[in-house]
A and B are shown apart, each in its own frame.
Chain A
């Protein structure tokens, strides 16, 4: 199972506490994880990726294993530690004031 950590506002929106665990079919890529997340929690559609372009929203970041994966291609494999569930996939709201 893939472990995903959501930012606090999206945990509230999705009505979840703590980490989310997801089953991902096939290669574990950023796109596959986000697809599985949105399928499990439809309210998150549009909050991480633009509805139409599917591009990451500018102030959303994807981290894992101490690396910033935000600008990796959506179909690039995530680290083995994420795929195996050893490490979580972190979704983070960028520090941007306000």
Chain B
């Protein structure tokens, strides 16, 4: 029987949660790398036993860990992330120039076809690639260098490439998203990039429709329809039907259009999930009730999903990389909270149950569907 492996990164270590296809009884393994911030773990689509993990510490910097056995054992690989050429400067919080400095890897995106190729989205915002299983890393400098980099500015959490999307049918096309710069697209496998933010409107900017400066929190796509993108922005849920050429708002009847994660059902390209969060600055669910919202119409019309989720006194957040879907016949949806809960729905969101309740604050959730 097929099963799932859920990879959970937390503020104080990583955990691996496994279950069979019913997804009702779970084995919890970990903590791995106890005490370290585990920003993100992700498996290779080409070899599910090949995992990559970003291990980071304010004291001791960055490590990249690699597993060849589905997370049973790990080995540290390369941790040298050196910007290409003279790094230059971006804008600091106060608007003054600030030199580009590597801080950590936020997101690891393994190639769809080669287990040894993996992309890293880093803070300060840049994208790196390894083609030797993480041993060595080289920046794809066309992103920082395309022209607007000096105007990028950090959001409250830092200035990072936090989203990397690879197009399964057009391998040269990639998307990244940066807080707070916006969305960017490459059509030549990462060599050159351009902003793709037309239609976004951000009132915290002097020019709300400027080409860059938008605080994009997350982008998602369905692999069968890679030109359709869904975006959770720092206010506004957006959609593009043109590979990012233009965007339109699909927040519709959401109770608040602020949030961090967004994801798409594995088998229904028009079914989208968000977790509305109260903002600005509170960053917890409205009215203390944790609700996932689902649209089956590609946006605009949303329904609250509450069964099994706490509907009172809940003041956790769900961070941008902390939601994922599996691809079993009955699509599973997963998310983790800053309160340490990881929830699973084995029925596309109709009902939820906690896999685990008391982990450290969850930074990221990924899921692998295993044969």
Contact = CB atoms under 8 A, between A and B. Distances in A.
B82 A51 contact: yes
A17 B370 CA distance: 37
Interface string B17-59: 0000000000000000001100000000000000000000111
A51 B101 CA distance: 12
Contact of B58 (A10, A48, A59): A59
B60 interface: yes
A31 interface: no
Contact of B60 (A47, A51, A52, A98): A47
B255 interface: no
A66 interface: no
Interface string B58-85: 1111110000000000001001101000
Interface of B is mostly: loop
Contacts of B63: 13, 43, 47
7 contacts: A7-B60, A9-B36, A10-B60, A45-B79, A60-B59, A96-B58, A96-B59
A40 B80 CA distance: 18
A57 interface: yes
Given A9-B36, A13-B76, A59-B58, 4 more contacts: A47-B60, A47-B61, A59-B59, A93-B60
Interface in A26-50: 43, 45-48
Contacts of B82: 51-52
A46 B61 CA distance: 7
A94 B57 CA distance: 12
Contact of A43 (B35, B57, B59, B76): B76
Contacts of A60: 59-60
Contacts of A57: 59-61
A45 B60 CA distance: 10
Contacts of A7: 59-60
Contacts of B62: 46
- How many residues of B sit at the interface, in one of the four size bands? 10 to 19
A57 B79 CA distance: 15
A23 B135 CA distance: 27
Contacts of A94: 59
A9 B35 contact: yes
Given A43-B76, A45-B79, A46-B80, A9 B58 contact: no
Nearest to B62: A46
A45 B35 CA distance: 19
Interface in B283-332: none
B33 to A, nearest CB: 8
Nearest to B35: A9
B60 A48 contact: yes
A94 B59 CA distance: 8
A93 B61 contact: no
B74 to A, nearest CB: 11
A98 B58 CA distance: 9
Given A57-B60, A60-B60, A93-B59, A45 B80 contact: yes
Nearest to A61: B59
Interface string B148-191: 00000000000000000000000000000000000000000000
Contacts of B36: 9
Nearest to A48: B60
A62 to B, nearest CB: 13
Contacts of B60: 7, 9-10, 13, 47-48, 57, 60, 93
Nearest to B63: A13
B153 to A, nearest CB: 23
Given A9-B35, A9-B36, A46 B79 contact: yes
Interface in B106-122: none
A6 to B, nearest CB: 10
The 3 nearest A-B residue pairs measured at CB: A47-B60, A59-B59, A93-B59
